[in-house]
Amino acid sequence: MGQVSKLVLAVAAGLAFVASSANGLPSGEYVVHEARAPTTAGGQSSHRRWKRGSRLDPDAIVPLRIGLTQSNLHAGHDKLMEVAHPASAGFGKHLSEAEIHDLFAPSDDTLAEVRSWLVGVGVDETDIRQYANKGWLAVDLPVSKVEDMFRAQYHEHENDDGVLRIGCDKYHVPKHLAGHIDYIVPGVKLSPPLVKRSLARRRRRSDVVSSHRKNWDPKKLPPQLHTWKQPPHEPKLPQDLQDCARNFTAVCYRALYDIPAAGVPVPGNEPAVFESGDTYSQQDIDAYFHKYAPYIRNGTHPRLQSVDGADAPVAPTSPFNTGESEIDIDIIQSLVWPQSMVLYQVDDRLYTTANNMSGFLNTFLDALDGSYCGATAFGITGDSPGIDPAYPDKRPGGYNHPEMCGTYRPTKVISISYGESELDTPKRYLQRQCNEFLKLGLQGTTVLVSSGDYGVGIGPAGDDTCLDGSGQTQTVYNPGNPVACPYLTAVGATQLQPGTTVLDAESALQTPLGPGSELFASGGGFSNYFPAPSYQKAALRTYFAKHDPGHPYYVANADASNVGADGGLYNRAGRGIPDVSANGANFRAFTNGTEFHWFGTSLAAPLWASIVTLVNQERALRGKRPVGFINPALYENAGALTDIKNGSNPNCGSSGFEAVEGWDPVTGLGTPKYPELLKMWLRLP
């Protein structure tokens, strides 16, 4: 990367950075707080998409943000198990938003300790700004000061598009503050994008939709390209169920999982889908309803809850219409109708078309939880500057308003079919975000997330699909995010094999879909950041005792800096992915006015969202609360699911894992038996 004379910070124009050397480091008892995990075969610290370049000018100004540790996080898991475990007397007794805010707000001691340290190292107290929710402190300081305070070396980082950011590979904090500081930005988490004005370029149409948060896009094939032969006629099945292995529709879901027609709609029971960077077309979902769900009125659409300038719908030919939103809406609406549904469309076009942000979901979570949001009376916006979009976005076409904070009440079921590599984002950032899913569970919300579509890798064969380790290159398994968070339900995918019907057993999704998708398979594996949660440990012990995959493994250390140690391919102690699964092959739907066959775990998450919505509906009609976080109940009642025992999820140069009896890192506990799940949850208070 060449010398850069001037950079402009996208969210704080006018801050100039030029390469130079850093000052000396302070003395005192400091400890490493964050360090970038080695991702190269030689063990060097580097970001997977950003190349480290020159040191920063010591006099340049850095907009430093210090995230403060929330209170009582150690008790959060136990509190969630209290309201979610079927054996608990507190099952279903969810907390209010106010109770959750009071429980987890950073303590006054944390705020006082960090402010006192800043003043003690020479920061003017009047320059320290505080976020309204106490979650962040902000101060603008010279690079030399920041490097001294945190014993760090700040560098430019550039990606292949010429976008620049700043950050460090490692930083320290005083030992007595380690428990009070969550993380800093910029730091191991890089700054917001910096723009080389001379490198500005116009996007091609094919570049419009962001890819960093969609490493597992659903795949589509035109019907005429399908090579499977029609199965022989099955006299036990009606005509619309004869060909579900090749042409999967809502009626196939109902038959395969014994899902009844929905009953009377219940106000407040609307499920929701999260969408960002992709937008549905009304004409496309109307075409689907007309052909496959004619009981739904033409023009039916989800209720839009727009977050930070997002809009919907778009014309069928729009470059923002790539199909994800439509299959989510098609599946859920066709199964829960006449219950309506909600669409969380997130972030303005400028952010959702950029491929230079390394985090996602936080602006969405802000809109649901004001206590997580970065709103402040001091003009600071964005809950985690440098990671997520920052608002007001004053660029032409941007959302030039304050970030939405606590604007919407979360629905009781949310389906998310988006993801990225877990190791692309620092552990502390993901831990903080994962705690938001814990809070949603405490409020009674079920979050379903697709597990990915490339087996034990994060994408098609190629660079960055898999991880590097000690002496290894692109062979270590690469779990996803946010699916690794133990406080949501990870959903893998299954399929009917060629020539079979809904009367036959399913297999794990594994089907070659042409160049770049030869390894298309249900995503699964073990987290490098999150240990196995209590509700899952028994299932994992049984899996390793009876079906050890035989691959070398490692046990990830606290910061996951030993990924791939001793030739290991996966973290033996990690949270297992997925929890459950459902059919994700050959779903018929329309996009851009054309009918396709769709494949992926993106089909399975909305199916499970529909199942939980129908269960909540039946509970509501009996005066009971929603089921909320469902994992503890599922692991205690695995018989309410159909175990999948065939298939695997290869990638990273190996066979991956196999679907076996009991839980496995391909299909989890299995696919839903709706009547059994309903009976289980109706027995609970």
CA dist., res. 301 & res. 682, Å (int): 30
Cα angle, residue 170 at apex, residues 165 and 172 outer, rounded to 5°: 125
For 628-647, b/e burial (b = at least 16 CB within 10 A) is: bbbbbbbbebeebbbbbbbb
Show the tokens assigned to 424.
């692309």
Give the DSSP H/E element, type plus range, for residue 468.
strand 467-469
What are 648's strand-pairing partners? Answer: 658
How many other β-carbons are positioned within 10 Å of the β-carbon of residue 182?
A: 23
Cα angle, residue 152 at apex, residues 147 and 156 outer, rounded to 5°: 90
Residue located via tokens 């779990």: 479
Annotated binding-site residue? 664: yes
CA dist., res. 39 & res. 45, Å (int): 6
> What are the backbone dihedrals phi and psi of residue 582, each rounded to the nearest 5 degrees, phi first?
-165, 170
Show the tokens assigned to 12.
């704080």
For 142-156, b/e burial (b = at least 16 CB within 10 A) is: bbbbbbbbbbbbbbb
Contacts of 485 (CB under 8 A, 6+ apart): 430, 433, 434, 437, 530, 575
Residue located via tokens 């952010």: 351
Q: Which residues are catalytic?
A: 324, 328, 602
Exposed, middle or buried: residue 111 (CB in 10 Å: 0-12, 13-18, 19+)? middle
Annotated binding-site residue? 643: yes
Nearest Cα neighbor of 249 from 187, 334, 135 is 334
Which string of DSSP letters, residue by residue, matches 551-582? ---B---TTSTTTTGGG--SBTTEEEE-SEEE
Give the DSSP H/E element, type plus range, for residue 65.
strand 61-68
SS3 assignment for 613-628: HHHHHHHHHCCCCCCC
Instruction: Write out the binding residues.
Output: 643-644, 662, 664
Instruction: Write out the binding residues for Ca(2+).
Output: 643-644, 662, 664
